Structure 1
Amino acid sequence: MNAMQEKLFLELRQTKKEIESSLNKQQKQTWLTSILKAELVDINAAIQKFEEGKFGQCEISGEFIPEDLLKMIPTMRSIKDTEDLENYYKKPLSTAFL
């Protein structure tokens, strides 16, 4: 595990604790509950990938996802997810890392 991956791993573990704490404190389901639960599923999947030595690999093709994208979204699962980012990011991704 390189330094960038180690930092992401620690951030994911901390975020997991924070989300779990928030979910445990909630007395009733809100619109935020489903979002937090979905994020927790993604975080757990990313942590499992770290533990299996597969973090950063596309779940579809096995190719490595660019580190710059993983720094922004460490829970990214596939290269296809980068295509979905185009819908939300206003600038072309090719200019995001200049």
Structure 2
Amino acid sequence: MAWVWLVLGGLFEVGFTTCLRFADGFRNIPWTLGFLVTMILSMVLLEIASRTIPMGTAYAVWTGIGALGTVIIGMIWFGEPFTMLRSLLILGVVACIAGLKLTAH
């Protein structure tokens, strides 16, 4: 179950980075509240997962999911560049996350 909490926490990390994009220096209150709520949920879920999963592994996977999701959201919705090199690097991140999960005890 810890892995489910960790993945969910990583997805909330994508939520808080997306909200941060629209928070406008924390002057846009609805987006700022979205940022705060998703950030808190993300951190709480990371903490819960790290009770079972080693912290180094949990943090690396959590960060990887957040980074990967943020890059994909940027490419799909915000017109960030989609190139073959970026795609290969994204696959590299996915491979590293999978490797960490497979080697965690």
Q: Same fold (TM over 0.5)?
A: no
Q: Comparing both structures, which one devotes a greater share of its residues to helix?
A: 2
Shorter-chain TM range is 0.3 to 0.5
TM-score when normalising by structure 1: 0.38
TM-score normalised per structure 2: 0.36
Question: Which structure would you say has the larger RCO, counting Cα contacts within 8 Å and 6 or more residues apart?
Answer: 2
